[in-house]
Amino acid sequence: MIDAKIPAGSLDSKWTKYKSTCKLVNPANKRSLEIIVVGTGLAGASAAAALGELGYKVKTFCFQDSPRRAHSIAAQGGINAAKNYQNDGDSTYRLFYDTIKGGDYRAREGNVHRLAEVSANIIDQCVAQGVPFAREYGGLLSNRSFGGTQVQRTFYAAGQTGQQLLIGAYQAQERQIALGNVVQYSRHEMLDVVMIDGKARGIIARNLVTGELERHFGHAVLLCTGGYGNVFYLSTNAMGSNVTAAWKAHKKGALFANPCFTQIHPTCIPVSGDHQSKLTLMSESLRNDGRIWVPKQQGDTRKSIDIPEEERDYYLERRYPAFGNLVPRDVASRAAKERCDAGYGVGTSKQAVYLDFAAAIQRYGKIEAGKRGIEADAETITQMGKDVVKEKYGNLFDMYEKITGENPYEVPMRIYPAVHYTMGGLWVDYELMTTIPGLYCLGEANFSDHGANRLGASALMQGLADGYFVIPYTIGNYLADEIRTKAIPTDHAAFAEAESKVRDRIHMLMNIKGSKTVESLHKRLGKIMWEKCGMARNAEGLKQAIKEIQQLKNEFWSDVKIPGEINEMNPELDKANRVADFIELGELMCIDALNREESCGGHFREEHQTEEGEALRHDDKFMYVSAWEMKGEHEWEMHKEELNYEVVKPSQRSYK
Amino acid sequence: MEHQNINLKLKVWRQKNSTDKGGFETYDVKNISQEMSFLEMFDVLNEELIAEDKDPIAFDHDCREGICGMCSMYINGRPHGPWEANTTCQLHMRAFSEGETIVVEPWRANAFPIIKDLMVDRTAFDRIIQAGGYISVNTGNAVDANALPIEKAKADASFAAAACIGCGACVAACKNSSAMLFLSAKAAHLNLLPQGQPERKTRVMNMVAQMDKEGFGACTNTGACEAVCPKEISITNIARLNLDYTCAGLVSDK
Amino acid sequence: MTFKQMFTSSVGKKLVMGFTGLFLVLFLIVHVGLNACIWANDGGEMFNKGAHFMGANWVPRLLEVGLFAGLILHIIQGLMVEFSNRSKRAIKYDVAFGNRGSKWYSRSMGLLGILILIFLISHLAHFWIPNRSAQGFVGLEGEIDLYTKMKDTFTGDSWQVMVTILVYVVGCIALGFHLAHGVQSACRTFGLSNPKWIAVVSALGYAYAIIVPLMFALMPLSFHFGWID
């Protein structure tokens, strides 16, 4: 049993009490304490800025050419905060409750409540930094509802909330660079954690431009490296998003928690062919106005507009009358898969469903005609309706048209679920420390706040909460005991050993000189994962997947072909390093999915469903976090962290 | 959508590293689905090059959904290719037809040295931000977000400027290799907001000084930057910056 | 901003270009207005009165010094901006972006400026220098009959006259395109960002860029084709 070090006391007093009793580091000592931040997305950039402001000496690392490119930038919809600006009954408790329930009762109460508590500060902080959130005519902030919650608590900046928040954090980080508190290393990839006397004391990073290995010391190391959705090859993640940093930490002893919890987002543009390199998300906000349907007839080959109304099956409205098209992501995704598997899919691949705005266009057109007090003909109404839809979703419609060549104002969009977010990650305690002392993990890279399913607009909230408002307190509690530790010179034996291991591995990869490209092996891994550990999983498939992945691993290490040299810019080598880790992670994900014999949130085991095909949880047996410890090749040992619900009563989620 | 497979000739700039002289190489790419993105076509070509024991073409890319600003190809004489308000990663092969020759070059500007092939070093943009592209507020000092109402038109204009993805297409398109559209968008984002006022003068002075130091050219208002900006940032922002710069200059003590 | 930065920073340099440019634009209004007196068709009486006022009066003569200072500053700064900007891209593109993103004349201000300069040198050699030499540079009296001088310069079929007219017409066309970009560019450099006023200024700029050079170009042609006596 592992201890999450949740402070004692009532739920709403835990964080306040922690903050007022944790150890502090005096300003003079902060100047001699060094912190390494790996990854510069929302969590990393905000942590680097906040820690720099406090006076610590910070180094940041990212593999992109600038911290501003981290994939947090791609978040479209918004960020939740319990501000209750709309006077619609929101509160810290409601946000906490929605997040716990949305996570299908597999998240920690203490962490989630803290997240809800600091959510309001995030908005204040971002506005002070100049993040241009959407506003009303009165000059105050605008909100929208999101992900089926019953209050309007989502703050947004058109369709690029992620970019605006990241730029806020990035600018705060650049300011600290200008002030000399932070040093930034771009186009650098962390390839190992350096451990001295059982504590994380630095990293080995590879300069991706020159190929050189570098040693960097830190009194503490923060991993803010995002999720591992790219294990599926096709996902909405950026091409470079990877698990490598977290995986190196895992190999050095950090536990990896709930790896099988993956979020499949229901509204993505479908795969168009084997050439596909990534999938593109269409914001969840589209489900506010779009109606999802498939033909009632199996294998219907007619064009969408030729299918009459009575021959369309609006299956979400049919199955879930209460929430309709606005059911949570996991439910909507599974329903789409169910229809396609049953032979009702549309498009050339038959792996897609329609998201139709025709009804919304008519509805808005009529409202518009009413507003202007005109008797309009059908054509004018349609045109006015299209204008309203364009106003609301224009940028998304344009993006859809660029990618598919179809005009969504005229024909329904085709959509299909795609891997989007990973709830699992490195196990961390309440202080965000992994099981390795001095090694922290923030944002999507850790596992702590979203349970088995994340609600829309909560990822940005968690990244910034961890970086701006949690780590500045919790890291002090650790570093207060490190003030006597002098900076360790990087010629220390532990650094040399870690570096030589990294070097050996790179040489090993380069010397395989096989026949299969990294990309082709990655694609095969993705196919195994998607088919057997994707939206629906079963014991037999998972067992088979484990075998296939083990074979793939052998094949990778005996037959991969990497062109180019080590000491130069070599993107294929970078990719090989990452894919090698994805293969190992894939195996662990299947092991975890096999172990968790229940369905919850994004994890759906076919053996465990209700008669109506809904997810069936087994709280009696699986009310725990599975935290895996690596024991050797293909070998892991599970540690359990029991989840104690003191405040919320777990119940079966129902959206009917 | 009707689509077909096409054959193309690619003329691509190859340069081993920053000190190599570099030159064009021509490749035949066959059977390319028009549903592919431009970068996916490069993926296909690279897989073929690896199979032939040749060095694949290095290019910058990451999110492939038009927001990270990493992709940067100068295609047939236009940054990000022929489509309006678009990034390279969102350009699809429907834009090209059978038998066409496509010339692909890196962003060219002294301030963006080439790292390899089509990859350039854009860290100059980071340093321009470090010179003043931020609001100096430490974490935890903020007042309630709604304590400061902001005129919607101003907030919207600020957002429109903040939509910049820092890709550098403006520099690539400008005959002077000027970074003024980037710089002015970053400055306008903050200068249009009340939060940005205390540092407004020093911000523009320092950012312009840094831009000059990095080796970008001066703006001559040709508008080429605006024409290629994937996020349709307006050159109006450059005028805003000019005014701020002039006012700051006139009232400064030195 | 130190005074030095006013002339050395990229925005400062542009400010100098804009201010001197607009100053020259104002001068052209005076110049074209005065010269338009030739069309009074009174044998140059009105024109010579105006020319006399300008040449034999200390105020315009002093302003003339400022004019030349502005002109020289505009030329030197312009050439420096042009050369500096050209040096910022050591390796050129294989395929040029060209007219797809900007107007050719907005990219050719340096070239247009040099054409105007060639015209200007020829123009000064024809009129201003002989006139000031006749007066003596500090004198106010004794200027030559400029109307007759104009007539002589542009009348006849000799190749010298034809070349002169060609230089004038080309110079005026270059001036037109130079102004078409210059006027609105200068206003943007001064910080005009309001779309409503940019539209007004652009319209005025284009009108100015067409009318003023056209009037100038018509002057030699009027003499040559005998439209005026």
- Phi and psi at residue B193, in whole multiples of 5°? -100, 150
Q: What is the pLDDT of residue B225?
A: 98
Buried b / exposed e along A302-316 (16+ C-beta atoms within 10 A) = eebeebeeeebbbbb
Query: B222: domain range?
Result: 123-251
Of B220, B16, B210, B189, which Cα lies nearest the Cα of B119? B16
Q: Kindly provide the b/e burial profile for residues A194-231, where b requires at least 16 CB atoms within 10 angstroms of the residue's own CB.
A: bbbeebbbbbbbbbbbebebbbbbbbbbbbbbbbbbbb
Stretch A422-450: mean pLDDT? 97
- Residue partners of C39: CB distance under 8 A and separation at least 6: C222, C228
Q: How far does B218 lie from chain A, in Å, by closest CA?
A: 24
Using the predicted structure, report yes or no on whether residue A91 has a pLDDT greater than 80. yes
Tell me what ipTM this predicted complex has. 0.97
A 10 A CB-CB count for A35 gives 26
For C94, phi then psi, to 5°, come to: -75, -40
As for how many domains chain B has, the answer is: 2
- Which residue shows structure tokens 């978040």? A75
The CATH number linked to B29 is 3.10.20.30
Whether residue A461 contacts residue A119, with contact meaning beta carbons closer than 8 Å, is answered with: yes
B212 and B150 share a domain? Answer: yes
- Cβ-based neighbours of A297, under 8 Å, separated by 6 or more: A311
Distance CA A258, CA B234 (A): 47
Residues B104 and B178 in one domain: no
- Tell me whether B21 touches chain C (CB under 8 Å): no
Predicted confidence band of residue A392 (pLDDT cuts 50, 70, 90): confident
The CATH number of residue C115's host domain is 1.20.1300
Q: Note the pLDDT of residue B211.
A: 97
Nearest to A468 among B129, B139, B155 (CB): B139
Looking at residue A395, its pLDDT comes to 84
pLDDT average, residue stretch A249-260: 98
On whether residue C91 sits in a domain, the answer given is: no
Tens of pLDDT along A317-354?
999 998 888 888 888 999 999 999 999 999 988 999 99
Average pLDDT over every residue of A389-396: 86
Report residue C7's pLDDT band, with 50, 70 and 90 as the boundaries: confident
Q: In whole angstroms, how far apart are CA A40 and each of A282, A378, B21, B61?
A: 24, 51, 34, 17
Distance CA C20, CA C16 (A): 6
Which residue in B204, B195, B129 sits closest to A131, CA to CA?
A: B195
If one counts the domains in chain C, the total is 1
Give contacts of B 189-208 with A, CB under 8 A: 189-190, 193, 195-196
Q: Tell me, yes or no, whether B37 and B70 share the same domain.
A: yes
What is the residue-averaged pLDDT of chain A?
Answer: 95
- Counting DSSP H helices and E strands in chain B, the numbers are 8, 7
Nearest to A129 among B63, B122, B137 (CB): B137
Residue carrying the six token digits 């907030």: B155
Question: Which residues in chain B touch residue A53, judged by CB atoms under 8 angstroms apart?
Answer: 138-139
Instruction: Flag residues of chain B having pLDDT under 50.
Output: 1
How many C-beta neighbours within 10 Å does residue A622 have?
21
pLDDT band at A125 (very low <50, low <70, confident <90, very high): very high
What is the share, in percent, of chain A residues with pLDDT greater than 90?
Answer: 90
Q: Which of A656, A507, A617, A490 is nearest to A567 (CA)?
A: A507
Question: How many C-beta neighbours within 10 Å does residue A606 have?
Answer: 13
Would the pLDDT of A44 be above 90? Answer: yes
Question: Which DSSP string corresponds to A98-109?
Answer: HHHHHTTT-S-H
Q: What pLDDT, on a 0 to 100 scale, did the predictor assign at position A385? A: 95
Q: Is residue C152 part of a domain?
A: yes
Q: Is the pLDDT of residue A72 over 60?
A: yes
Residue C229 maps to a domain: no
β A439-441/A220-223 pair status: parallel
Question: Subunits with at least 3 CB pairs below 8 A relative to chain A?
Answer: B
Per-residue pLDDT of C23-48, as tens digits, reads 999 999 999 999 999 999 899 999 99
Residue of A nearest to B151 (CA): A139
Q: Which of A172-176, C53-57, C152-156 has the highest average model confidence (pLDDT)?
A: A172-176
Mutation target for C interface from B74, B246, B250: give the one with most C CBs within 10 A. Answer: B246
| Backbone phi, psi, residue A127, to 5° | -65, -40
pLDDT in tens, A605-655: 999 999 988 899 999 999 999 999 999 999 999 999 999 999 999 988 777
The pTM score is 0.96
pLDDT computed for residue B2 by the predictor:
62
Give yes or no: residues B90 and B191 share one domain.
no
* pLDDT number for residue C82: 96
Residues of chain C neighbouring B103 (CB-CB closer than 8 A): 94-95
Find out whether B69 and A69 touch, Cβ atoms under 8 Å.
yes
The CATH number of the domain where B162 resides is what? 1.10.1060.10
Q: Are residues B144 and B246 in the same domain?
A: yes
Catalytic-labelled residue, pool A114, A206, A215, A329: A329
Beta strands B23-33 and A353-356, pairing class = unpaired
pLDDT tens digits along A518-573: 999 999 999 999 999 999 999 999 999 999 999 999 999 999 999 999 999 999 99
| Domain extent at residue C123 | 3-85+103-224
B159 touches chain A (CB under 8 A): yes
pLDDT for position C145: 93
Token look-up 């909330």 returns A161
Q: Which of residues 602-621 of A touch B (CB under 8 A)?
A: none
Q: In chain B, which residues have their Cβ closer than 8 Å to the Cβ of A71?
A: 62-63, 68
Nearest CA-CA partner of A96 in A460, A599, A458: A458
Residues of A in Cβ contact (< 8 Å) with B20: none
CA gap A224, A241 in Å, rounded:
12
Tokens representing A453 are 């399913």
Kindly state whether residues B92 and B179 are assigned to the same domain: no
Of A129, A140, A139, give the one whose Cα is nearest residue A166: A129
Q: Which residues pair with A414 in a beta bridge?
A: A354
| Structural element, H or E, at residue A257 | strand A256-257
∠ CA A622-A626-A631, nearest 5°, is: 140
DSSP state of C38: G
Domains of chain A: 265-419 (3.90.700.10), 492-642 (1.20.58.100)
Under 8 Å CB-to-CB from C102, ≥6 apart: which residues? B175, B222, B223, B224, B227
Please, what sign has the CA dihedral across residues A489, A495, A500, A503?
Answer: negative
The sign one gets for the Cα dihedral B50, B52, B55, B61 is negative
Identity of the residue in C13, C91, C96 whose CB atom sits nearest the CB atom of B77:
C96
Using the beta-carbon criterion (under 8 Å), do A174 and B3 form an inter-chain contact?
A: no
Say yes or no: B27 and B98 in one domain: yes
Distance between B247 CA and the closest CA of chain A, angstroms: 22
Burial class (CB in 10 A: 0-12, 13-18, 19+), B127: middle
